[in-house]
């Protein structure tokens, strides 16, 4: 059964890496009535339109009758309000995500990640949108940087919205991602460019570990959350832990010959941690884990004030109380280089 058949969907930040994959997955696997791509970057909107024209050149009506590009900023509530008219589902991916940029421009991060999210909430309530999913980050857990702190506050805003929406049908929830392999601004495109230009690959610390997920996993998490949400939850896919040095070495081995270089000619330089950067990541805090649920594929953090949600039913998740400790990267055995290689191949990165 098509999960989003005849649904009208708004994707904020729709020309970003995740936004584009969501659009392609909806077009290829579902039958939405409308996909509105809301983004502040006109150049990326133009480029994405050309991609769609090329990829659906044999069936242009497949996207022409469905996709609408809307230029606008999540900071602009009036523009958002018009974009949300008649929408059934909002997937909110628009954000300032670069840790360094947010550290040096903290209030800009607040305006987009926090005030922008509140704008989404306000216009969703005003327009009685059915479901609203916010895409967060594992950096929201015990945040050590501005970006993580703004993501955490945005999560709190999303959960709280369920308590004051009145009799409207809106359901608000969040998903937490680890590092999405190949996403714009992530470490893999950086390493790839360094290898391509025969420059040293720069890693922060050889023992640093990160949770990593494929782009297809990220899309699946969003779609599953849309289906499962009752309101106020944070959904987290279980994902493998990758050692940053292993990742760099696998990329060098896989990409150096492709760009006409010898593997041994690409050096690895250790440059140390950047401001706000952790040596390991967490998917949830110990306090969150104490009240969380676990399934084979994901963790679910329920809202704390469940008495405010009288229809909330834990049994609907088919989950148990949390049993594993697989939510702190330093406590999880990293996957092997062969496993990293397999994931990168499946995603077409090497």
pLDDT digit string, tens, across residues 23-68:
999 999 999 999 999 999 999 999 999 999 999 999 999 899 999 9
Planar angle of CA 206, 104, 193, nearest 5 degrees: 45
For residue 1, pLDDT beyond 70: no
Task: Quick: pLDDT tens for 84-94.
Answer: 999 999 999 99
The three-point CA angle 104-329-333 to 5° equals: 145
Query: In this predicted structure, which of 70-79, 198-207, 211-220, 271-280 has the lowest mean pLDDT?
Result: 271-280
Task: Categorize the per-residue pLDDT at 216 as very low, low, confident or very high, splitting at 50, 70 and 90.
Answer: confident
Q: Residue 181 — pLDDT band, cuts 50, 70, 90?
A: confident
- pLDDT given at position 51: 96
Domain assignment present for residue 129? The answer is yes
End-to-end CA distance of the chain: 34
**Would 308 be classed as within a structural domain?**
yes
Torsions phi, psi for 216 (to 5 deg): -65, -35
Confidence of residue 115 (pLDDT cuts 50, 70, 90): very high
Q: What is the mean pLDDT of residues 225-246?
A: 93
Signed CA dihedral, 141, 143, 147, 149: sign only: positive
Please classify residue 295 by burial: count the beta carbons closer than 10 Å to its beta carbon, then call 0-12 exposed, 13-18 middle and 19+ buried. middle
- Which of 140, 147, 141 is CA-nearest to residue 104? 147
Residue 130: inside a domain: yes
Q: Is residue 8 part of a domain?
A: no
Residue 29, domain member (yes or no): no
Tell me the mean pLDDT in the region 151-175.
Answer: 96
Q: What percent of the chain has pLDDT over 90?
A: 75
Which range marks the domain in which residue 279 is found?
A: 73-346
- What does the block give as tokens for 222? 């969003």
Domain count, the chain: 1
CB atoms within 10 A of CB 133: 23
Q: What is the DSSP letter of 282?
A: B
User: Which of 230, 192, 227 lies closest to 308, judged by CA?
Assistant: 230
Q: Going by DSSP bridges, is the β-strand pair 298-301/293-294 parallel, antiparallel, or unpaired?
A: antiparallel
**Torsion angle of alpha carbons 114, 120, 123, 126, nearest 10°?**
-90
Which pLDDT belongs to residue 3?
Answer: 86
Q: What is the pLDDT of residue 153?
A: 98
Nearest-angstrom CA–CA distance, 66 and 82? 18
Is the residue at 194 inside a domain?
yes
Told to judge if 196 belongs to the known catalytic residues of this protein, a careful annotator would answer no
Average model confidence (pLDDT) across the chain: 93
Tens digit of each residue's pLDDT (9 = 90 or more) over 260-301: 999 999 999 999 887 777 888 889 998 999 999 999 899 999
Residue 276 lies in a domain: yes
* pLDDT recorded at residue 173: 97
Burial group, residue 285, by CB count within 10 angstroms (0-12, 13-18, 19+): middle
Neighbouring CB atoms inside 10 A of 144's CB total: 14
Is 128 in contact with 88 (CB distance < 8 Å)?
no
83, 72 contact by CB (below 8 A): yes
Which one is catalytic: 139, 238, 278, 341?
139
CATH code of the domain in which 90 resides = 3.40.50.720
Residue 200 has pLDDT above 90, yes or no: yes
Please report whether residue 264 resides in a domain.
yes
């Amino acid at each position: 059964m098509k999960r989003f058949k005849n649904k009208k969907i708004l994707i904020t930040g729709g020309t970003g890496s995740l936004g584009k994959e969501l659009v392609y997955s909806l077009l290829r696997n579902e039958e939405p009535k409308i996909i509105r791509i809301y983004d502040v970057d006109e150049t990326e909107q133009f480029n994405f339109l050309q991609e769609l024209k090329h990829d659906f050149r044999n069936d242009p009506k497949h996207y022409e009758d469905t996709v609408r590009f809307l230029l606008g900023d999540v900071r602009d509530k009036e523009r958002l309000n018009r974009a949300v008219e008649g929408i059934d589902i909002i997937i909110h991916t628009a954000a300032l995500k670069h840790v360094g940029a947010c550290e040096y421009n903290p209030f800009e991060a607040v305006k987009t990640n926090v005030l922008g999210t509140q704008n989404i909430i306000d216009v969703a309530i005003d327009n009685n949108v059915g479901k609203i999913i916010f895409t967060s980050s594992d950096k929201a857990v015990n945040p050590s940087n501005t970006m993580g702190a703004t993501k955490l506050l945005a999560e709190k805003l999303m959960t709280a919205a369920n308590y004051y929406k009145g009799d409207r049908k809106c359901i608000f929830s969040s998903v937490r991602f680890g590092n999405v392999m190949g996403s714009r601004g992530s470490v893999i495109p950086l390493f790839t460019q360094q290898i391509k230009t025969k420059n040293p690959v720069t890693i922060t610390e050889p023992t640093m570990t990160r949770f990593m997920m494929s782009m297809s996993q990220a899309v699946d998490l969003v779609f599953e959350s849309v289906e499962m949400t009752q309101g106020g939850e944070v959904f987290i896919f279980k994902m493998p832990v990758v050692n940053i040095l292993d990742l760099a070495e696998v990329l060098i081995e896989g990409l150096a010959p492709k760009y006409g270089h010898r593997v041994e000619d690409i050096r690895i330089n250790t440059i140390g941690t950047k401001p706000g950067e952790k040596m390991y990541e967490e998917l949830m805090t110990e306090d969150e884990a104490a009240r969380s649920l676990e399934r084979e594929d994901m963790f679910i953090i329920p809202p704390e004030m469940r008495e405010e949600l009288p229809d909330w039913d834990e049994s609907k998740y088919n989950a148990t109380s949390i049993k594993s400790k697989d939510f702190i990267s330093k406590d999880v055995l990293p996957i092997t280089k062969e496993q990293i290689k397999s994931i990168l191949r499946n995603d077409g990165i090497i």
